[in-house]
Amino acid sequence: MPINWFPGHMNTARQKLAALMPKCDVVVEMLDARLPASSSNPLLDELRRDIQGKGPEGRPGDLPCVTVFNKVDLADPPVTKAWREVFEKERGVQTVAISVNQPGEADRVVRLVKKLAPRRIEKGLKVRVLVVGIPNVGKSTLINALRGKRVANVGDEPAVTKGNQEIDLKNGIILIDTPGILWPKFETEDVGYRLAVSGAIKDTAIDYDDVAIFAARFLTTQYPHELKARYKMKELPEDPIALVNAIGKKRGCLIGGGEVDFNRAGELLLREMRSGKLGRISLELPETTGE
């Protein structure tokens, strides 16, 4: 599936990220808990390693990182647990799973950040925290929750944040927000589909039909019971196109002659999947991300 979406400012943002990291004490990477691997920036670990000894205190190792699994209320709990174990073991990061929209959840990130910068805390210095993540993953929502008021732009559309913002939380932490970053090409076609299903890619840049077919095929394999319950089906069509058509008929997505408006039916399926109306669904498993 070709996705024609990689704005020019993404390349610039990536370069700025590399320049900012040596000036920071901790990185907070925001991920979508439903697709942790696909929503992770593959350059982050490389950049963390590259700045060993370059910080103001001559850091002895990688820049500490807190990986935030956001939107955990929409993800499959056992799958999220498995993903956190993978990230902590293979990437050497600390993880926390939250729903940043819920009161008090963002405070858990602050506590973990401070634990990773004890030398700064002991000296009475502010901890400089770089917040990174792909578009629409919740960075600005996290910052606003921590600050207690709206200081970062928030929106349902990806790439709302356009430039770096420094925010003093007045609690010993300075946050640096960065524009959402996606890499210039997807490692596999499925990564692009997962991002499109989640809403990380602007709807104007995707083909609803293709993405809905991908979602239908995935749900039939991994979450058939949730599909049956939501759309009141005793049996599911094996073909994903037939499934989307069946959902369209159930929900009245019809055009002249009683035919299904496939695009509208696909949009409905994606909207209900993104909102959690189908249940708590994870879009990738640790053992299947290479497929």
Does the domain spanning 207-288 belong to CATH 1.10.1500.10? Answer: no
Tell the residue number behind the tokens 């921590």, with chain if given. Answer: 146
Total-model pTM:
0.84
Confidence (pLDDT) at 207? 80
Length of the chain: 291
| Residues 110, 116, 119: CA angle, nearest 5 degrees | 110
Successive 10-residue mean pLDDT values, the chain, 291 residues = 50 73 89 93 74 49 87 97 94 93 91 91 91 84 77 44 71 81 66 89 77 96 97 95 97 92 95 96 81 46
User: 239, exposed or middle or buried, with CB in 10 Å at 0-12, 13-18, 19+?
Assistant: middle
pLDDT at 161: 44
Domain ranges in the chain?
Answer: 8-177, 207-288
pLDDT of 184:
46
User: What is the CATH number assigned to the segment(s) 8-177?
Assistant: 3.40.50.300
Which pLDDT value is given to residue 239?
Answer: 96
Q: Write down the pLDDT at residue 92.
A: 86
Contact between 195 and 29 under an 8 Å Cβ cutoff? The reply is no
- Tell me which amino acid residue 52 is: Q
- Tell me the C-alpha distance between 9 and 287, whole Å: 33
| DSSP 8-state assignment for residue 125 | P
* Structure-block tokens of residue 195: 């991002």
Contact 81, 285 (CB under 8 A): no
